[in-house]
Amino acid sequence: MSTLPVLIGRDLCKDYPMNEAPVHALRGVSLEVGAGEYVAIAGPSGSGKSTLLQLIGGIDSPSSGTVEILGTLLNELSDRDLTRLRLTRLGFVFQRFHLLPVLSARENVELPMAEAGVRGKERRNRALELLAYVGLEHRAAHRATQLSGGEMQRVAIARALANRPALLLADEPTGELDAATGDEILTLFRRLNRDGTT
């Protein structure tokens, strides 16, 4: 019995209209990612890597082609259902962290669980477990503005894992970090994958 791929992208294209001629950010990209895989998308700046991640993450829609997450075609979902799928089945880690500065590290990790309807005590416990997993349990009460870049990225990773996503997407997660801290973050991603995260 074969397992369903976590992600299937078929013939993905993304065009942006411009005055003179459209910009083709992505043309005919297809990919499939199975459960437990660790995939890196590499290429020069402007080659469409971030665009591809936005399409497979349901943040943007392709001009043509389809994206399927766990057997569900994203283009067939209502806005509400797409939002729910992103919240519960996908985890996002961005280059610029996107933490809420007025919230503590723990509260930032709790936020997607609150949106998904997870109860308070369970949210707090899971957030603390995730912060411990990324080595930041001692910083749980600190606001995002009191954290270093590497610490903020680890909080962002913990937040992305909050709802136990089927697929974790990271867009240049080391781009704002120094080389040593970037290596620590990549080591954390490899550990996440060994522990079962796709």
Q: What is the mean pLDDT of residues 93-110?
A: 93
Q: What is the CATH number of the domain that holds 60?
A: 3.40.50.300
pTM comes to 0.90
Identify whether residues 175 and 192 lie together within a single domain.
yes
- Point out the domain boundary residue: 48, 76, 104: 76
The 10s digit of each residue's pLDDT in 40-55 is 999 898 899 999 999 9
Residue 170 pairs with which residues in a beta bridge?
A: 93
- Point out the domain boundary residue: 76, 111, 129: 76
Q: What is the dihedral of CA 181, 186, 187, 190, to 10 degrees?
A: 170
The 10s digit of each residue's pLDDT in 59-98 is 999 999 999 999 999 999 999 999 999 999 999 998 888 9
Identify whether residues 55 and 98 lie together within a single domain.
no
The answer to which of 1-15, 95-109, 149-163 has the lowest mean pLDDT is 1-15
Distances (CA, A) of 61 to 53, 54, 75, 167, 183: 11, 8, 8, 18, 32
Which tokens in the block code for residue 125?
């416990």
8 Å CB contact between 185 and 93: no
Q: What is the mean pLDDT of residues 19-25?
A: 87
* pLDDT-derived band at 56, boundaries 50, 70, 90: very high
Q: CB-based burial of residue 60 (10 Å sphere; 0-12 exposed, 13-18 middle, 19+ buried)?
A: middle
List Cβ neighbours of 98 (8 Å cut-off, separation of 6 or more).
156
Identify whether residues 127 and 142 lie together within a single domain.
yes
SS3 32: strand
* pLDDT-derived band at 2, boundaries 50, 70, 90: low
* Number of compact structural domains in the chain: 2
Distances (CA, A) of 29 to 10, 11, 64, 167: 7, 5, 10, 19
Q: What is the mean pLDDT of residues 168-197?
A: 88
Q: Give the domain range for residue 51.
A: 1-76
Identify whether residues 136 and 196 lie together within a single domain.
yes
Identify whether residues 96 and 183 lie together within a single domain.
yes
Distances (CA, A) of 16 to 61, 76, 78, 153: 11, 22, 23, 30
- Is 1 a residue whose pLDDT tops 50? no
* pLDDT-derived band at 18, boundaries 50, 70, 90: confident
Q: What is the mean pLDDT of residues 11-36?
A: 92
